[in-house]
């Protein structure tokens, strides 16, 4: 009986010893830190790994150092322009000082959420609805800075704040939809007016280009026509002059008898005409007298010496000088090629003018 009691006492002693030893061993995870207190007094911070503390009279509180996500409940806020909206958010926090997070605030989770609600209400209340809807990033940064400054003494860092939803009241939504519809109608009217304006501008520009091209075509046509008339007049005048010179050179070698024969042939051709009236550029009696002298019926037949080549050249000049330069086929072809080149040049100038006009109109439209 005594042995059983002794064995029981030994077992109890062993179990008690193990319990005491185990209570003095604390294991801290890599993402945690521990607050070590002994008899109600803070001793030190326990880091990750195996830590030994005083058994039985110790207290260790573990704090998670990872980033935590807190949900800020939705709440109704009145904006600066008296528009009720429901706003909620999420907060990313991280404990950077476990001692302050444990000793400076009872529950840093609840404290951070409540502080975020009041700060969000205050920030939204100072802004108009349109600004809230279009400036979420600005609100996020402002909330983060304000909350981080307030929670710094708690050993909590606010890493980010994100506005999750901004839900205006139904009446406000209806007004916003009407405003959006009106804005879209206004933009449609502006686009339609701008389209009509551009169409009118393009139509006017097309008419202007057409008139420019038409005027340029008429100018080129008139230039070519005038150039052709000038060349035709020059060639015709040159031909008449050459004809007269050839006639003068040929007539210079004829004597009075040959001239009489030619006069008789002329009278014969005149007589063959259907007209009953004849006009002669010389006095008819002199013409008849010359013919009678040639036929021997005249009283005096003067002799006229036949001119030789040297006498003719001495009197009227050389035949090449009298006839003038007669253009060859090659020279005529060269003149035509020059005319074609001039037409090509005028066409290129017209195209350049049209392109310049198009560029100017494009710049004006922009």
Quick check: 280 and 290 in contact, CB under 8 A?
no
Tokens for 145, please give them: 């800075």
Residue 301 has pLDDT above 50, yes or no: no
pLDDT at 141: 92
Q: What is the C-alpha separation between 32 and 119, in angstroms, rounded?
A: 29
Selected residue with higher pLDDT from 163 and 249 = 163
Q: Looking at 108-112, 137-141, 304-308, which range is the least confident one?
A: 304-308
Tokens for 238, please give them: 């040159």
pTM over 0.85: no
Q: How far is CA 6 from the centre of its chain?
A: 102
Beta bridge partners of 85: 77, 168
The pLDDT of 181-209, averaged and rounded, is: 86
Winning range, highest mean pLDDT, from 261-270, 344-353, 355-364: 344-353
Residue whose tokens read 């007539």: 251
Q: Please, what is the average pLDDT of the chain?
A: 78
The pLDDT of 39-58, averaged and rounded, is: 86
Tokens for 188, please give them: 């449609």
Domains of the chain, first to last: 2-64 (no CATH), 68-168 (3.30.479.30), 226-365 (no CATH)
Return the beta strands (E) in the chain as ranges.
Answer: 25-28, 32-38, 41-46, 49-52, 58-64, 68-78, 84-95, 156-168
Quick check: 249 and 307 in contact, CB under 8 A?
no
Within a 10 A sphere around the Cβ of 260, how many other Cβ atoms?
20
Backbone torsions φ then ψ of 87, nearest 5 degrees:
-130, 135
Q: What is the C-alpha separation between 77 and 269, in angstroms, rounded?
A: 125
Q: Per residue in 118-144, pLDDT tens? A: 999 999 988 888 888 888 898 999 999
Residue 24 has pLDDT above 70, yes or no: yes
């Amino acid at each position: 009986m005594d042995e059983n009691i002794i064995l029981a006492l030994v077992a109890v002693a062993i179990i008690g010893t193990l319990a005491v030893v185990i209570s003095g061993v604390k294991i801290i995870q890599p993402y945690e830190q521990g607050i070590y207190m002994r008899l109600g007094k803070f001793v030190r911070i326990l880091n990750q790994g195996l830590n030994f503390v005083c058994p039985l009279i110790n207290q260790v509180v573990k704090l998670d150092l990872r980033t935590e996500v807190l949900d800020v409940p939705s709440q109704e806020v009145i904006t600066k322009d008296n528009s009720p909206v429901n706003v909620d958010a999420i907060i990313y926090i991280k404990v950077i000082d476990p001692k302050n997070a444990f000793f400076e605030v009872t529950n840093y989770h609840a404290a951070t959420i409540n502080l975020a609600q009041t700060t969000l209400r205050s920030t939204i209340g100072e802004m108009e609805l349109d600004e809230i809807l279009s400036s979420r990033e600005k609100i996020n940064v402002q909330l983060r800075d304000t909350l981080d400054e307030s929670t710094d003494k708690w050993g909590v860092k606010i890493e980010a704040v994100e506005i999750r939803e901004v839900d205006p009241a139904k009446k406000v939504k209806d007004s916003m939809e009407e405003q959006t519809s009106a804005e879209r109608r206004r933009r449609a009217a502006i686009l339609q007016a701008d389209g009509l304006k551009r169409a009118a501008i393009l139509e006017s520009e097309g008419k202007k280009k057409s008139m420019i091209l038409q005027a340029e075509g008429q100018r080129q046509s008139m230039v070519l026509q005038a150039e052709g008339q000038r060349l035709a007049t020059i060639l015709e005048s040159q031909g008449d002059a050459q004809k007269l010179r050839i006639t003068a050179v040929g007539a210079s070698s004829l004597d009075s008898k040959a001239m009489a024969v030619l006069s008789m042939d002329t009278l014969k051709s005149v007589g063959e005409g259907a007209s009953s009236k004849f006009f002669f550029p010389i006095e008819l009696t002199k013409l008849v007298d010359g013919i009678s002298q040639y036929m021997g019926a005249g009283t005096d037949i003067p002799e006229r010496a036949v001119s030789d080549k040297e006498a003719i050249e001495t009197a009227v000049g050389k035949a090449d000088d009298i006839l003038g330069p007669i253009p060859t086929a090659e020279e005529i072809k060269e003149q035509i090629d020059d005319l074609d080149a001039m037409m090509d040049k005028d066409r290129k100038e017209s195209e350049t003018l049209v392109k310049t006009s198009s560029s100017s109109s494009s710049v004006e439209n922009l």
